[in-house]
Amino acid sequence: MFAVENVQKLFPLLDEIEKDRSCFGRTEKQALYRIAFHKEDFGEVQRILMQAAAPHLTERERGQILSAHGESLPKPPGMEAAQIENYIFQMQHMIYEKEKANRMLEEVLKQSGLEKELDRLTGEAKKRPAGEQNRGTVRNGKAI
């Protein structure tokens, strides 16, 4: 079974763990994504993450823990399958980061009072006929 939702749930946990100190490199994160992708029980993924994130561990020990858990996972049948897995992880991470950025932008707009102005401009843009919206970015010498 492939559990994309486990990978999605892993991103905020990693953010929270690494808020104060970075403890996972790219290789370790890839191993965690792969573990989450192949485990059915997210509770097990959380236990592995907490075990590997223990502050007293060295980088080598952290790598050994993740390798031990990774060995029990099914091996990709070829390089193409491994590349597809990595592509899935990258896409999910980009979606997560985009959603996080959108939430941050929304919060900034609320705090600065620009949210209503943005809603008004968006509403005006939706009311314009489609042909008028696609004329370009400059009208009458002024950027719109």
Query: In this predicted model, what pLDDT tens digit does every residue of 41-67 receive, in sequence order?
Result: 999 999 999 999 998 999 999 999 999
| pLDDT of 137 over the 70 cut | no
- Compute the mean pLDDT over every residue in the chain, rounded to the nearest whole number: 86
Is residue 144 a contact partner of residue 138, using CB atoms and an 8 Å limit? yes
Question: What is residue 132's predicted lDDT score, i.e. its pLDDT?
Answer: 56
Burial class from Cβ neighbours inside 10 Å (0-12, 13-18, 19+) for residue 142 reads exposed
- The answer to whether the pTM exceeds 0.95 is no
Beta bridge partners of 138: 143
| pLDDT of 115 over the 90 cut | no
Q: Report the distance separating Cα 136 and Cα 94, nearest Å.
A: 29
Mean pLDDT of the 122-140 span: 63
More confident residue, 139 or 28: 28
Question: What is residue 138's predicted lDDT score, i.e. its pLDDT?
Answer: 47
HSE (side-chain half, CA atoms, 13 Å) at 57: 17
Q: Report the distance separating Cα 137 and Cα 8, nearest Å.
A: 37
